[in-house]
Amino acid sequence: MILVHLIRNEHMNVSRIFSCAVGMFAVTQLAAQSSSPTTLIKAGRLLDPRSGNVLSPAAVLIENGKIKEVGPPPKVLTHAPGDVKTIDLGSATLLPGLIDGHTHLFLDIVRPPEAEAQRHENGIFAPGNLLAIVESPTKRALMGAHLARQDLESGITTVRNLGHSGIDGDTELRDAIKAGRISGPRILASGRKLITRGSYLQNLNPAIADAILEQEFLLIDGPDRARQAVRQNAFHNVDVIKVTADENLTVPELASVVEEAHRERLKVAVHAVDKISIQTAIDAGADSIEHGNEVTDEQLKQMRDKGMFLDLTPTSYDGFLRKIAEQMVVISAASRAAYASSAPSLKQQYDQLVERVLKSGVKFAAGSDMCWFYPGKTRGEASTAAFVNLRAAGMPALDVIRAITSNAAEMLGWQDRIGSIEPGKFADLIAVAGDPVIDITELQRVEFVMKNGDVIKNDFASK
């Protein structure tokens, strides 16, 4: 009983963690970022993702953290005050800050050895998830803050964190960033993920199973409990509700989640991979379907007609996760052979998914689904590498950029704030040296980052 009590109450310290433990670090970091009230950014090119149009040369006038004017430099300069701070990025290409529509900042999982993974249901993911749950919320909070900063430094200025952050980890991290106590992207926080029992962790010690699960999830068991789960998350002031749909989740249960969430003016993002789960999400009226790997053409049509978003997550595309794992664990010859025989078919299936999505006219965005430790890369570097996988899967570069800027902003319901470089929107901008429409890997080499008018990084200044 003592262990259960500790597990249930330890999260109460998270708010104090952010305001005290990382507060001193944040003061020095943010002091260096503070911008003057009015800033003028000049660049060789500015890409508008929605239209595909390029303004060259370009200037952006920023006042009090928001975009005031965009246009040719001579025109914008006539409206700039005499004491304006000018940032000249030379021939660089300006883009809106990137949006990761699906991430997990409170997980940094190391894949277990093959023999260990085979001993567990969901053995590649579940052991690392369980370790994260039972560790101190203090440790998770500090790690989440660290990974958030890494995302921002790679040009990801907004994220939607969809679960696996403890009871209130992502809402507290969001608030700490918003208050200026630490540096990181804008966060839409989902709180605990709603699941049916057994979706992620199985065969736990019955004496403490419920306490462990309640640290990470809210269980759905009938429509009434589904509504209660939404209300519990709403109590922590979440921005979105995340649900995992599997064959055990019924349409009435998920419909109750959607109805209650919409009553709270919250969108519902549903993890759904197989055809049955995808149909459950469609029939229940979800706002976005996450992953959707097995979606049929008929389901894409239904989603298009209902205005639902498909949030693509190409995290495992063409052995991406396996390449990460091979740097850390020994993979048996039998496993290598099995993967080699199935890899071409799996790649082809995802290539065809991308092609069908583009033809269907369904609204789509993209997320990294990044929750894995990638040796030698920051979280931001790993996330942008996942985005680039969409180009390899056949999506035109401009559509990839839309998926993580303007399209993603609409999926989040924040199209009036972010996703494009327009007057009235937050001054969240990035710049790359080349042309990302020609070479999408430019997004893995972001050299300038601004969030809310504050310069986070400017590698061009040292050139």
Domains located in the chain, CATH noted: 33-96+423-462 (2.30.40.10), 98-412 (3.20.20.140)
pLDDT tens for each residue of 66-114:
999 999 999 999 999 989 999 999 999 999 999 999 999 999 999 999 9
What local confidence, expressed as pLDDT, does residue 198 receive? 84
- Taking residues 381-389, what's their average pLDDT? 98
Contact 158, 428 (CB under 8 A): yes
Hey, is 361 helix, strand or coil? coil
CA 282 vs CA 35, 102, 269, 285, 295: distances in Å: 45, 19, 11, 5, 11
Hey, is 45 helix, strand or coil? strand
101 token code pair: 């529509």
307 token code pair: 């205005």
Go through the chain and tell me how many residues it has: 463
Indicate the average pLDDT of the chain. 92
Radius of gyration of the chain (CA): 22
Q: What is the DSSP string of 411-455?
A: HHT-TTTSSS--TTSB--EEEESS-TTT-GGGGGS--EEEETTEE
What local confidence, expressed as pLDDT, does residue 18 receive? 45
In this predicted structure, which of 93-102, 127-136, 220-229, 428-437 has the lowest mean pLDDT? 127-136
What local confidence, expressed as pLDDT, does residue 17 receive? 44
Nearest to 371 by CA among 122, 152, 132, 204: 132
Amino acid at 30: L
pLDDT tens for each residue of 252-280:
999 999 999 999 999 999 999 999 999 99
Q: Report H helices in 10-55.
A: 14-16, 23-31
What local confidence, expressed as pLDDT, does residue 36 receive? 52
Confidence of residue 462 (pLDDT cuts 50, 70, 90): confident
With 90 as the cut, is the pLDDT of residue 451 above it?
yes
CA 291 vs CA 251, 314, 325, 404: distances in Å: 19, 8, 21, 15
DSSP-derived secondary structure letter, 20: I
Which residues are paired to 187 by β-bridges? Answer: 159
Work out the percent of the chain whose per-residue pLDDT is above 90: 87
Find the helix or strand (DSSP H, E) in which 224 lies.
helix 223-235
pLDDT tens for each residue of 6-65:
344 444 444 444 444 444 444 444 434 444 589 999 999 999 999 999 999 999 999 999
Q: At a CB cut-off of 8 Å and minimum separation 6, what does 80 contact?
A: 38, 40, 61
CA angle, 16 then 19 then 22, to 5°: 110
Hey, is 39 helix, strand or coil? strand
With 60 as the cut, is the pLDDT of residue 463 above it?
yes
59 token code pair: 């200037």
CA 303 vs CA 101, 249, 295, 410, 446: distances in Å: 18, 19, 10, 15, 34
